[in-house]
Copies of this chain bind each other. A is one copy, B any other.
Amino acid sequence: MDINSIRSQFPILSKKINGKQLVYLDSSNSSQKPLNVLNSLDYFYKNEFSNIGRSIHSLAVNATNKFEETRISVKNFINANSKEEIIFTKNATESINLIATTFGQMSIKKGDEILITELEHHSNYVPWHYLRETRGAIIKFAPINDDGDIIIEKFKELITSKTKIIAVTHLSNVTGTIVPIKEIVEIARKKNIPVLVDGCQSAPHIKIDVKDLDCDFYAISCHKVYGPTGVGILYAKKKWLEKLPPYNGGGGMISEVNKNQITYAPLPEKYEAGTMPTAEVVAFNESIKFMQSIGIDNIIKHENELTNYTLEKLKKINSVNIVGNPRNKAGVISFTIKGIHPHDISTIVDEEGVAIRAGHHCCQILHKRLNLNATARASIGVYNTKEDIDVLCDAIKNCRKIFELK
């Protein structure tokens, strides 16, 4: 893996922030985008843009084909069975809302249980909370241990005959925990409970194989996978998409419209109402190509090395405390420094050009569980280097100096 050639594909990485070279360690928030993706966006708009699926002139035909090519790439990328199982949304949050809403409409009655975990991002909790409010569902939180791992035994115990769906993250955006989804799906299968996986953090960092995982639903945000903003993906098994009611209603998702009755389009159009983020979907094909050109195994290897390097270096700094110590950890490293609030850390390292995130990272439940108000988080992308981590660690040392910690 040629890291210099990879970095050269990200123009923003050579920018200066506060007079210092940018060190971007906020990829869990959103990744930067490589040139082939940006060029695709620009080329498409300048040469090929048209609305898709509606008109039958040459521009529209070509744009529609390009759009559908991405659908096939995504299908292959996550090893789905067919392209009808790939729905384009605006972000993973919408993907999860789509399932929570339609599944809720079809299957959730008063007293039914929804099982999630203490690791979940708000986007994988609030949509289920709505079912609590509107349908009287009960939400159970599978507990984690102090390492940030889900306690599988407790998880099993929380499943009852009333559990209607399980929703769980594949990779925590705070502790970096890689959740054993296969194990969870196997447990759920025995009780015939569908499983939704929040794959926001996993998609850019580990190999996704929905056939192997055998999960029912999988949600992805393209902007975290080296893709443009404005697109998300919902994978769902065909049997579900056929059975569930439609979500947003409007142009493109109908078949026949009468004054008293409406029939809906077949898959995947049934779930794609209104004009899609056409250019963004077309460009996302390039994001997949970017990852494939490096090779997902190489990405994993590089990021693992860097994660270990970061953990070792951070642990050597006095009063730094790493949040969580999961069995399998990806490059999401949250930490605190005794005596310095994460916001102050972020401001001080920013002065050195280092972009990290501070706060609750949309995981208030998890922070409460860990007795923390906020954490600082460095998160790794394929373009990061040991030098980036060195700059981060020096900047953290500067925090300690400013705050006169010993």
List chain A positions with a Cβ less than 8 A from chain B. 11-12, 15, 17-18, 22, 24, 26, 29-30, 32-33, 38, 41-42, 45-51, 54-60, 90-94, 96-97, 100, 105, 121-127, 129-130, 134, 139, 141, 221, 223, 228-232, 248-254, 256-259, 262, 273-280, 343, 346-347, 349-350, 354-359, 361-362, 364-365, 368
Contacts and interface: CB of A to CB of B under 8 A. Distances in A.
A59 B355 contact: yes
B30 A49 contact: yes
Given A251-B93, A274-B94, A277-B229, A126 B262 contact: yes
Helix, strand, loop or mixed for chain A's interface? mixed
A194 to B, nearest CB: 19
27 contacts: A11-B46, A12-B46, A26-B50, A26-B57, A26-B59, A29-B55, A29-B60, A38-B45, A55-B359, A56-B358, A57-B346, A57-B350, A57-B356, A58-B350, A92-B274, A93-B249, A94-B274, A97-B250, A100-B249, A126-B273, A229-B278, A230-B278, A230-B279, A252-B362, A258-B364, A258-B368, A277-B280
Nearest to A231: B230
Q: How many copies does the complex hold?
A: 2
Contacts of A230: 90, 228-231, 276-280
Nearest to A255: B364
A54 B29 CA distance: 8
A50 B356 CA distance: 11
Nearest to A257: B364
A12 to B, nearest CB: 6
Given A221-B274, A275-B93, A123 B49 contact: no
